[in-house]
Amino acid sequence: MTWYVACLSGDLRRKPVARMIDGTPLALFRDGAGVAVALLDRCPHRNVPLSYGTVEQGLLQCCYHGWRFDGAGACRAIPGLAAGAETDKRARRAEAFPTAEHDGFVWVQTDTSPANGAGPYRFPHVEAPGYTTVRKHVRFSAGLHACLENTLDVPHTAFLHGGLFRGNREPVEIEVVVRAIADGVEAEYLGEPRPEGLAARILAPEGGVLTHFDRFLLPSVAQVEYRLGENHLVNTAAFTPVSEFETDLHAAITFHLRMPHAPVRAAITPVVNRILHQDSVVLRRQSEAIQRFGGEQFASTELDVLGQHIRKLLRQAERGESPAPGETTEVRRVTMRV
């Protein structure tokens, strides 16, 4: 089963929420017990999107004729039908999809692969004492691989995000170790000084040498982890494919710092928003160029430490293959200037 984030928990209020996951349109709402549920966004009566309707007494009501559906897709009411007439027949059911909710996100499973007993990914440290979490949702005009690589790509930060994160100093040489991990691949950056830029100065004003990991985890999680002394920050981005050139980002930016968290959160939020906007613009321009030239064409160097491994793992997953232990990549070292 492949789980993707559909929305933030706080998005589900009075009205249903429309989402697209890998080409499947969904209508999400909370049922009578307050549980997040997902139905195919099409009324079986006359094909009107259910997301245009309302939630009435825990049932999703179609805006066209008022048919009402529960979280399992059963039709529970048809206004005007004679008293005692049966409402829930097979043809009148809306297709329902498995959902799960935790860490402030609602996950949906839309594929038809057999269940393996594993639930959705759990965001680390979200509920841990002493940690604060900032959640973000952004839609990028780019494909899944491009978004994943962008999140885990160090060299672009000094240029695209210069002044906000990295840049403003002479580059220093560090070592990068790339290794296979369970269901993914990670890069460990050795001997990296705290980056320059506003975001880094807010999070670690005293400077020092970072412990820094970048990770990709199947099916679509990109994670960046920094630790400097007692300061710890983990940015976990769960990507949801919408279409070939659209991808939703749902991120949990979780941190533990020696300083008070409230002013840090207030200061870091506009910086994060600016960085996400810069990424959104460049990814959209990249997608436009790919479409203009009729496809992708890459020239890579050893500095592109994770992009090719991400692509390999995604292609294996598309074919239904699982990477063998150690198959993702051999341990290797790269020297990089950051």
Query: Measured between alpha carbons, how far is residue 235 from residues 23, 69, 151, 227 in Å?
Result: 27, 37, 10, 12
- CATH code for the domain of 97: 2.102.10.10
Positions in the chain short of pLDDT 70: 112-117, 166-169, 197-199, 202-204, 323-332, 336-338
pLDDT tens-place string over residues 192-207? 887 776 667 766 677 7
d(CA 196, CA 162): 9
Q: What is the pTM of this model?
A: 0.90
**Same domain flag for 40 and 185:** no
282 within domain boundaries: yes
Last residue of a domain, one of 109, 144, 179: 109
d(CA 70, CA 82): 20
**Same domain flag for 312 and 173:** yes
d(CA 213, CA 190): 9
d(CA 69, CA 56): 10
User: Which residue in 203, 260, 209, 207 sits closest to 234, CA to CA?
Assistant: 203
**pLDDT given at position 329:** 47
- CATH code for the domain of 204: 3.90.380.10
When divided into structural domains, the chain yields a total of 2
Residue 74 has φ and ψ, to the nearest 5°, of -70, 140
d(CA 248, CA 4): 10
